[in-house]
Structure 1
Amino acid sequence: MTVSLNHRITGSGQPLILLHGLFGSLENLGGIAQRLQDQFQIHALDQRNHGRSPHTDSMDYPSMAADVLAYMDQQGLDKASLLGHSMGGKVAMQVALQAPSRVDRLIVADIAPVTYQPRHDAIMEGLSALDPERIGSRQEADRALAEYVELPAIRHFLLKNLQRASGSDGFRWRLNLPVIQACYNNLAAAPVSDGCFEGPVLFLKGELSAYIQEKHRPEVARLFPNATLRIVSGTDHWLHAEKPDTVAALCRQFLNG
């Protein structure tokens, strides 16, 4: 069953759908949207159980891709280009594999079409340990989360999911944390497909990130035979936030053929 995704549309031109990563929201790719909206109609989406989109009892790539295709139907988009980061990259790949005729060009930021070992255990533990209703301020939440997540930038990113609970002094999670936790293995898994997507694909890798590795090349070639790889120097997994001008320029160049 598909859900109606929260979205933000900016700019004009050929449609480009932006898909954020795990624990994120449509705001995460805002810097890229701002830099491309002069030439493209940007459709930034909150994925299910994230941001302001509905909460559901399940999460897997076929159902999340179906959400995106349903959104395209609602907006009258027969075809669009897709840009996805991390989990959003897997959703974008799934859309292209599931409905190749609906995808013009595909950009995948720092993720490969493979199954990954769990790498968010500390984050899951930290978020689960926080009781948002008992938190008095974001500073208090940050101190509590620091016991589990060392990097301030990652804590800042995660705590964007805290919002004031109406009629209360406490907070609430925008994330559907229990379902994300229960479905984590689905999110670590590879996209599902019997075929391939033969359209043009650009993989962007953060130079310092280990998410895309040489050993992934055969699976990328099998599923996306018309794929190219560009490395963004001096960046890690958050390449779009670390070097937005460079990433946006690479995206523009690729989208313009």
Structure 2
Amino acid sequence: MTTRLNTLSVGTAGPRIAFLHGLFGQGRNWNQIAKALAGRNGTGARCLLIDLPDHGRSPWTEEFSFESYADAVAATLRATAPGETWTLVGHSLGGKTAMVLALQHPDLVDHLVVVDIAPKDYGSLERFQGYIDEMLGLPLEEIQSRADAEARFDEPNPGVKAFLLQNLRRDGTRWHWQANLDLFAADAAIGHESRIAGWPESVDELPPFDGPVLWIAGGDSPYIQPEDGDTMRRYFPLTRQFTIKGAGHWVHTEAPDIMVGALQRVLARAT
């Protein structure tokens, strides 16, 4: 995939930093962090918030692969700032994409920040199956308004409901999902052969990424386990782990001030 992805820019000067969201997310999920890094005058950092393929306003794919996701992001970074390098931040699905990109396109990445995900196979998308079913089950042809969609959407957690419904858009009188739900549903149906939950074997043939890596974990999240450290350092020898106590998987929304501070220190080293 070489199509340029949809992006949102925040900041007008300073080091370049790009953000990749997780499954069902969008680049603007990082907007609060980006605005804090850019600062009031916009010169603290030049932030690029990217919609991954099959998400937000970016093109859809017919078959999922981390390699093609990473290539699409790399093409977008090169088109945005030819010849420049980036600090690359990725959470969950975006974290895996960022890791694969650093391995496939090391010339693009100065610093890598991986948020609450490990370079391993997580088995299946079973934990997301309920969300996919809820979204596919919403009768879009009957929806009259966003309030109507919220009332019909069967999700008890208000934060999760708002996060998932950000994918719902209206064109004229027609409602549609921006996320490629059919692709995600097909991947989830594979079970333990899920590509989205997995980790691409192709990167084992690539040399390790020799740049600095900050590996941020949520202290209350199960996504990173002690035994994952050896695998992480096999691909990324200069990894430094940072655990944010009291935070779950969505670290950047649960502990934004700590996240901003950590990224400011990374950017200071990058400059």
Decide: shared fold, TM above 0.5.
yes
- Matching residue within 176, 182, 187 for 1:172: 176
- Matching residue within 223, 240, 244 for 2:256: 244
Q: Is the 8 A contact 2:132 2:184 kept in 1?
A: no
Shift of 1:251: 1.2
1:1-257 to structure 2, matched below 5 A, reads 1-11=1-11, 12-38=13-39, 39-75=44-80, 76-117=82-123, 118=125, 119-146=127-154, 149-166=155-172, 168=173, 170-184=174-188, 185-191=194-200, 192-193=202-203, 194=205, 195-257=207-269
Shift of 1:77: 4.3
Aligned equivalents of 1:16, 1:71: Cα separation in 2: 13
Matched with 2:191 is none
Aligned equivalents of 1:200, 1:66: Cα separation in 2: 21
Q: Is the 8 A contact 2:8 2:28 kept in 1?
A: no
CA displacement, residues 22-53 of structure 1 (integer Å, 9 cap, x when unaligned): 10111111111011113211111111111111
CA displacement, residues 50-101 of structure 1 (integer Å, 9 cap, x when unaligned): 1111122122110000001111221214321100111111111011011112
Aligned equivalents of 2:33, 2:16: Cα separation in 1: 14
Find the residue that maps to 1:171 and give its secondary structure: strand
Aligned equivalents of 1:77, 1:248: Cα separation in 2: 26
Q: Is the 8 A contact 1:84 1:90 kept in 2?
A: yes
Aligned equivalents of 1:58, 1:174: Cα separation in 2: 16
Aligned equivalents of 1:181, 1:77: Cα separation in 2: 38
Aligned equivalents of 2:139, 2:182: Cα separation in 1: 13
Shift of 1:8: 1.2
- Give the partner amino acid of 2:76: Y
Shift of 1:141: 2.6
Q: Is the 8 A contact 1:4 1:71 kept in 2?
A: yes
Aligned residues between the structures: 253
Q: Is the 8 A contact 1:132 1:162 kept in 2?
A: no
How has the CA–CA distance of structure 1 residues 213 and 57 changed in structure 2, closer, same or farther, with 3 Å as cutoff? same
Shift of 1:140: 3.3
- Give the partner amino acid of 2:90: G
Aligned equivalents of 2:216, 2:142: Cα separation in 1: 40
Shift of 1:133: 2.4
How has the CA–CA distance of structure 1 residues 22 and 77 changed in structure 2, closer, same or farther, with 3 Å as cutoff? farther
Shift of 1:130: 1.2
Find the residue that maps to 2:196 and give its secondary structure: helix
CA displacement, residues 132-182 of structure 1 (integer Å, 9 cap, x when unaligned): 222223333334332xx331100110001111232x2x4211112112222
Aligned equivalents of 1:81, 1:58: Cα separation in 2: 28
Bigger mean CA deviation after superposition, 183-192 or 238-247 = 183-192
Find the residue that maps to 2:195 and give its secondary structure: helix
Bigger mean CA deviation after superposition, 121-130 or 185-194 = 185-194
Aligned equivalents of 1:215, 1:145: Cα separation in 2: 38
Q: Structure 2: where are the runs of 5+ without partners?
A: 189-193
